Amino acid sequence: MTVVAPTFDLVVAANRLPVDLVFDADGKSTWQRSPGGLVAAMDPVMRGRDAAWVGWAGEPGPAPEPFSDGMHLQQVALSPTEVQEYYEGFSNGTLWPIYHDVIVQASFHRTWWNTYRTVNNRFAMAIAKVAAPCATVWVHDYQLQLVPAMLRALRPDLRIGWFDHIPFPPVELFAQLPWRRALVEGLLGADFLGFQRTADAENFLRVCGQLLGMATKGDTVTFTPSGKDLADGRTVRVGAIPISVDFQGLDALARTPPVVARAAEIRACLGDPKILLLGVDRLDYTKGIRHRLKAYLELLQDKAISSPEVTLMLVALPSREHIDAYRQLREEVDGTVGRINGKYSAMGSPAVQYLHQAFSREEMAAMFLAADVMLVTPLRDGMNLVAKEYVACRHDLGGALVLSEFAGAWHELHQAFICNPHDIEGLKQAIMRAIDIPEDERRRRMKALRKLVAAHDVYWWANSYLEALASAPDRPHRATRAGNEERRVAERANTLNRRASDRASEGEGSEEHRLLADVGKPPG
């Protein structure tokens, strides 16, 4: 008897499954939630749907059998060499630096590229197997940019979308990639390509038009694969749909008595500081952790703050530990934290509480609720969902968010305290403003931030994306007048905030801060 494999009308494909296979010291395996924003966002959207998720289980070796965990999980196996060349190599040693402003140098190796192609092809075949006729397939992120065209060649009946969770680089940086045309042609196998910010979508369109001489018009690219007739040309739409968080789920979690109690306990464990600063990131050089520590150290040295009245809780989730740049970052962060603590900690009250571990959702919600100031200071970040998670957990309207203008989240969260993390003086001032903010302004800012994240949560994002994919290459709907007004208010806040931050760095008093507090307030 032949067993027919199940097929699904919705298939999601990402480098990682939502759960990772992890082995303990005795070689016993368990499943654990995967790291990163992609899984945090997609998991609530996918749970309970009759859908499949195709991905890697996070360990080299043969793929475990498919299983069900709120959805059908279909694993793609990677050999140890493929993990090195496709995941650590091409994805995170070539693409990741190029897509993040070359904060560290990118490496180009033809062997890595060949393995990237092989693995993308394996993903395409795995998706083709589980996709029902005319199914919708949603491919995610930079690790799988060749999948759309490979999949279309196997299954022309499918509706295929791709979403870029990280920034899409400007032409000048993308042009460095020896495989730039193949990557773009891989993406253009999709019907719709989604990006975090309008600037990312525009960068992609410029790469198509200016660098590769393709026909672009408005937000579309028309592309004819080589060897095909012009009549076989396809039009692909490109758009910005910023990812978000499960606002209601996090809000509800942060209101539960155990989380509220744990938040108080965290503060007590740290010696009950008057002000608790918090940073939560994967330990990645894009996150501006060095800059944050430098600003914090200088504030202590300047005596603008002092320990134990102020404590910094630094949660750095282990990430990509086999890659040199990540190892080096870890050594630097370990060393800097050690130096700060050696000089400024008091018995029972660390100046920096450093945690290099992953935590449960409950524990994270408690940390967010405990922190007076959240420091989100990336040098470049597609979105940064931690900023939105913090806002979603602050049902008490407490807390203030310091946010880098280089995080995608900044393009929505204009009531945060803007910072340019390269400008250490400016970053210090942003932290001090967030610490010293009057109670009523803090509440007003947090209220505005929460309103925005609540209205544009992860379900809004997924539905908007799937609607755009269903109607591509046409647009699903027009922007409403209310939407335009919201955008106008946000743009005004953005301009004032940026100007205020620049002037504050230059040492001037700030009229803009006063004006900013009024943006979006009802007239009168």
**In the complex, which residues of this chain contact ligand F6P (CB under 6 A)?**
15-16, 35-39, 141, 165-166, 319-320
Distances (CA, A) of 193 to 119, 135, 159, 301, 354: 21, 17, 12, 48, 38
Under 8 Å between Cβ of 317 and 367: no
For residue 14, count CB atoms less than 10 angstroms from its CB and return exposed for 0-12, middle for 13-18, buried for 19 or more. Answer: buried
Shortest CB 39 distance to ligand F6P, Å: 6
Shortest CB 113 distance to ligand F6P, Å: 18
Indicate the residue among 326 and 354 with the shorter CB distance to ligand F6P.
326
| E-only strand ranges, 251-372 | 275-282, 310-317, 352-355
- Round to whole Å and give the CA distance between 464 and 462: 5
Indicate the residue among 292 and 320 with the shorter CB distance to ligand F6P.
320
Residue 86: strand, helix, or coil = helix
Nearest Cα residue to 462 out of 138, 158, 143:
138
Shortest CB 140 distance to ligand F6P, Å: 7
Peptide bond into 421 cis (omega under 30): no
Shortest CB 267 distance to ligand F6P, Å: 29
Indicate the residue among 6 and 35 with the shorter CB distance to ligand F6P.
35
Shortest CB 321 distance to ligand F6P, Å: 10
Indicate the residue among 20 and 251 with the shorter CB distance to ligand F6P.
20
Shortest CB 379 distance to ligand F6P, Å: 15
Q: Which residue is nearest to ligand F6P (CB)?
A: 36
Under 8 Å between Cβ of 469 and 134: no
Residue linked to tokens 């060749």: 146
Indicate the residue among 196 and 353 with the shorter CB distance to ligand F6P.
196
Q: Most distant CA pair in the chain: distance in Å?
A: 79
Shortest CB 154 distance to ligand F6P, Å: 23
Shortest CB 77 distance to ligand F6P, Å: 16
Indicate the residue among 164 and 512 with the shorter CB distance to ligand F6P.
164
- Round to whole Å and give the CA distance between 166 and 513: 31
Indicate the residue among 37 and 520 with the shorter CB distance to ligand F6P.
37
Indicate the residue among 115 and 497 with the shorter CB distance to ligand F6P.
115
Nearest 5°: the CA angle 30, 31, 34 is 140
Under 8 Å between Cβ of 38 and 144: no
Indicate the residue among 124 and 166 with the shorter CB distance to ligand F6P.
166
- Round to whole Å and give the CA distance between 254 and 389: 10
Shortest CB 35 distance to ligand F6P, Å: 5
Q: Provide the 10 A C-beta neighbour count for residue 255.
A: 14
Indicate the residue among 166 and 369 with the shorter CB distance to ligand F6P.
166
Shortest CB 319 distance to ligand F6P, Å: 5
Indicate the residue among 10 and 95 with the shorter CB distance to ligand F6P.
95
83 DSSP 8-state letter: I
Question: Where does 216-288 have alpha helices with state H?
Answer: 247-255, 257-269
Nearest Cα residue to 309 out of 376, 242, 372:
372
Indicate the residue among 166 and 472 with the shorter CB distance to ligand F6P.
166
Shortest CB 87 distance to ligand F6P, Å: 7
Shortest CB 114 distance to ligand F6P, Å: 20
Q: Provide the 10 A C-beta neighbour count for residue 403.
A: 29
Side-chain-facing half-sphere of 160: CA atoms under 13 Å: 29
Side-chain-facing half-sphere of 183: CA atoms under 13 Å: 24
What is the strand order of the sheet 400-404 is part of?
352-355, 310-317, 275-282, 373-376, 400-404, 417-419
